[in-house]
Amino acid sequence: MPAIDRAVSIADLRALAKRRLPRAIFDFFDGGAEDELTLRANRAAFEGARLLPRVLRDVSKVDPACEILGLPAGRPFVVAPTGGAGIAWPGVDIGIARAAAAAGIPYTLSTNATASIEEVADQVQGRLWFQLYVLRERGFVEKLVTRAEAAGYEALVPTVDLATGGKRERDTRNGFSIPPRLNARLLLDGALHPAWAWRIALHGGLPDFASVRGYRGSRERGLALASSVGRDTDPAFDWDDLARLRERWKKKLVVKGVSRVEDAERLAALGVDGVWVSNHGGRQLDGAVASLEAMAPIARAVGGRMAVLMDGGVRRGVDALKARALGAQAVCVGRPVLYGGGAGGAAGAERALAILATELERAMQLCGVRTMAEVTPDLVAS
């Protein structure tokens, strides 16, 4: 796919995805909540962090390998959960997961993915994490946990910033929902993007949300149930529930959606293995603090006791260097692989991760650091 090969930045892949996808689908992946203040703040925080490069060091060879959640990784990236990715390009969940495995980094499967827990585990040989939406039907949540356990997932990632869904106004204006309704606007936009429409038709229509089949005892496809799942996140889930989940899940537990130091401290005391600092990519509470700004004090407080990860605003390989210097083990990337996947399927996802990897290695050389161990706080100007 020549256009993918010519993409030199994540911004290039975003532009390609914007051209190749119906507007409603692109905006679903690209947009944030309300005025998108937090969406922009996430990126602005990285742009405002300034580096103090070291010079006169032998950087003829650099090694971006590191440890993430106690195991080796090829570089300090984790693929973040991306619900509904298959509506952009059929089968792309598997493609993204394989791209992550080839890069030697963990892949996080969303509860609302368009590939099932078991399908990903069967087809991908890599580090797999499962992101858990805590739903009102606790029996179904237990089934998801049991399935992830049986399929050999390394880590469970409950998401705790979803007491209710964010107000995503682009979706409302576009008449877009999950599952997508084939209204006149989407049909017209599909006709204007015939390659997308042909791919969807060739694969039998819109993909299923495979892991949520059977929610509330329904025999409908997961596609039909996806909107119910989106409305049914449990606002009553609290610290006692999380403590029970910690006791239930015997492997690695990473809690996603944290912004406050005191919450991270409490997670550390609870025996959680990692805290994932996140504002849901600006898709939930608009006006929330940028993830990079929230992450640094959390890392200072608990970084010696648990893994600290973060997402939100990562668009360049150098962003991983900045986040590492401020205390993160790794940055988690969602939109970059979605842009790649929307632009070119599995090949686009591979291209996104390759761009980030080469940018990171170049930034390491230009900053005078040869390994991740040499990425220290003094690399970022205070």
pLDDT tens digit sequence for 2-47: 689 999 999 999 999 999 999 999 999 999 999 999 999 999 999 9
Greatest mean pLDDT among 173-187, 228-242, 320-334: 320-334
Other C-beta atoms closer than 10 Å to the C-beta of 252 total 18
pLDDT tens track for 116-146:
999 999 999 999 999 999 999 999 999 999 9
Q: What is the structure's pLDDT at 220?
A: 65
Residue 169: the pLDDT is 95
Residue type, 251: K
Long-range contacts from 365-370, C-beta under 8 angstroms, 24+ separation: 365/59, 365/62, 366/53, 367/51, 367/53, 367/54, 367/321, 368/53, 368/54, 368/55, 368/56, 368/57, 368/59, 369/54, 369/57, 369/59, 369/62, 369/321, 370/57, 370/58, 370/59, 370/61, 370/62, 370/63
Between CA 69 and CA 97 the distance in angstroms is 18
Residues of the chain with pLDDT > 90, as a percent, come to 83
What are the sequence ranges of the domains in the chain?
2-375
pLDDT of 322 > 90? The answer is: yes
Closest CA to 342 of 131, 162, 145, 195: 195
How many CB atoms are closer than 10 A to CB 73? Answer: 21
The active-site residue out of 168, 280, 283, 324 is 280
Beta strands in 279-329 (DSSP E): 307-311
User: Catalytic residue at 280?
Assistant: yes
Model-level pTM? 0.96
Determine the Cα–Cα distance for residues 332 and 323; give it in Å rounded to an integer: 11
169-185 average pLDDT score? 81
Which whole number is the average pLDDT over 88-115?
Answer: 96
Q: What is the pLDDT of residue 222?
A: 55
Q: What confidence score (pLDDT) does residue 308 get? A: 98
Give the pLDDT of residue 286: 98
* Predicted pLDDT at 207: 85
For residues 92 and 115, the answer to whether their CB atoms sit within 8 Å is no
pLDDT, tens only, 141-161? 999 999 999 999 999 999 999
Q: How far apart, in Å, do the first and last CA atoms of the chain sit? A: 43
Helices 23-30/184-191 angle, 10° precision: 100
Across 49-66, average pLDDT: 98
CB 27 within 8 A of CB 170: yes
Segment 235-257 mean pLDDT? 97
Backbone region of residue 69 per phi and psi (left: phi > 0; alpha: psi in -120 to 50; beta: other values): left
Which residues, 6 or more positions from 370, have their beta carbon under 8 angstroms from its beta carbon?
Answer: 57, 58, 59, 61, 62, 63, 364
DSSP letter, residue 63 = B
Residue with more model confidence, 224 or 325: 325
Architecture in CATH for domain 2-375: Alpha-Beta Barrel (3.20)
SS3 (DSSP) at 258? strand
User: What is the CB neighbour count within 10 angstroms for residue 52?
Assistant: 12
> What is the average pLDDT score of the chain?
94
Q: How many CB atoms lie within 10 A of CB 114?
A: 28
Compute the C-alpha angle 38/39/44, nearest 5°. 85
The 10s digit of each residue's pLDDT in 199-230 is 988 888 888 888 888 887 766 665 655 565 66
As a whole number of angstroms, the distance between CA 194 and CA 166 comes to: 31
| Res. 300: pLDDT tops 90 | yes
The token pair that represents 115 in the structure block: 């590939």
